[in-house]
Amino acid sequence: MDTFLQLTVSGLSTGMIYALAAVGFVVIYKASDVINFAQGDLLLFGTYLIFFSIVQLNLPWTVGIMLTLLIAVAMGLLIERVVLRPLIGEPIISMIMVTIGLSSVLRALANALWGPQPRTFPSFLPDGVISIGTAVVGFDRVLAIPLGLALLVLLGFFFRRTRDGIAMRAIADDQQAALSMGISIPRVFAIAWAIAAVTAAIGGMMLGNIVGVSQSVAAIGLRVFPVVILGGLDSIGGAVLGGVIIGLLEVYTGGYIGHGLNLIVPYFVLIIMLMVRPYGLFGKPIIERV
């Protein structure tokens, strides 16, 4: 029972970090139907940027976080302006392919700026542990849970209630009709990329705390795919739930079965999901009127 509780809590927080990584991916997909293969590299930049501001610039951690988020927004806007905007109106597949290129460029850029050797993550989060019943978990890991939930509520509000959020979903549904109501596609795409970059930066900070500052953060970005396929490519809530389920599954298999099986469990889920419910738990099904 003790193990179970311990595993559950750590699975939940791991899952929330996956969710944070996946949310930005979902936002971009929702706005533009583009599958962003560079999401993992945005995470990587989040990790390096916090390292840069706190260790290299020696800023206090509050200012460091602010700076990281600001640079992330700027990066999101820049990527949209330079890489994706010229492709508006082209087939979606072109945009998807360009994100693969973007991924390589970002990774190489991080390599050029900070070198290939792993760095230690600045421990700015309060150390301490939290005991829930008999389970003991690091405070920095548990922090991902409220953070993830807060982000979920915020984005939910954005997509349901605000003008730009509704416009974003409108564009995803029907670009021509969205244009005909004066919705500016570049503006909405820019907002989507800014959100994706910021959520990735937050996810990157949390991840860096766990796995350290190195290129391997981007590899964890790959974990985004099982998460979003499970939750539904275009559902924020699905990304969070998918993240939690994948996180729990990983930790349970690791804890009870072991043998490195936990590393492949997510992809196992991905395959099953694609077979039985390809649009995910909460994705929008294709509407067919009869």
Q: Interface with other proteins includes 259 (CB under 8 A)?
A: no
Q: Which of 112, 181, 275, 276 lies at the binding interface for other proteins (CB under 8 A)?
A: 181
Amino acid at 151: L
Rounded to 10°, the helix 144-161/163-173 angle is 80
The dihedral region occupied by 260, where left means phi > 0, alpha psi between -120 and 50, and beta the remainder, is: left
Q: Which is nearer to other proteins, 43 or 183 (CB)?
A: 183
**161: burial class by Cβ within 10 Å (0-12, 13-18, 19+)?**
exposed
Tell me how many helices (H) and strands (E) the chain has: 13, 2
How far is Cα 60 from Cα 34, in angstroms, rounded to an integer? 37
Judged by CB under 8 A, which stretch of 125-133, 144-152, 178-186, 245-253 contacts other proteins?
178-186
Does residue number 87 form part of the binding site for other proteins (CB under 8 A)?
no
Strand partners, 138: 129
**182 lies in the site for other proteins, by CB under 8 A:** yes
Q: What is the dihedral of CA 233, 35, 155, 194, to 10 degrees?
A: 180
**Residue of 78, 125, 170, 222 that binds other proteins (CB under 8 A):** 170
- The smaller minimum CB distance to other proteins, of residues 163 and 259, is found at 163
Residue 184 near other proteins by CB under 8 A: yes
Nearer to other proteins, 169 or 277 (CB): 169
13-52 positions binding other proteins, by CB under 8 A: none
Classify each residue of 262-281 as buried b or exposed e, where b means 16 or more C-beta atoms within 10 Å of its C-beta: beebbeebbeebeeeeebbb
Cα-based torsion angle of the residue sequence 264, 269, 271, 277 in order, rounded to the nearest 10 degrees: -170
CB of 283 to other proteins, least distance (A): 10
* Site for other proteins contains 289 (CB under 8 A): yes
Binding of other proteins at residue 166 (CB under 8 A)?
A: yes
Residues 154, 136: contact at Cβ < 8 Å?
Answer: no
Region near other proteins per CB under 8 A, out of 78-86, 98-106, 165-173, 264-272: 165-173
| Cβ at position 163, least distance to other proteins in Å | 6
> For residue 289, which phi and psi values (nearest 5 degrees)?
-90, 135
Q: Tell me which stretch binds other proteins (CB under 8 A): 68-76, 127-135, 143-151, 162-170.
A: 162-170
Residue with Cβ nearer other proteins (128 or 182): 182
Using the minimum distance from each CB to other proteins, give the nearer residue, 175 or 216. Answer: 175
Q: Does 287 bind other proteins (CB under 8 A)?
A: yes
CB of 195 to other proteins, least distance (A): 19
Closest CA to 231 of 12, 67, 18, 66: 18
Residue in 183, 197, 213, 224 binding other proteins, rule: CB under 8 A: 183
Enumerate binding residues for other proteins (CB under 8 A).
Answer: 89, 160, 163, 166-167, 169-170, 172-184, 284, 287, 289
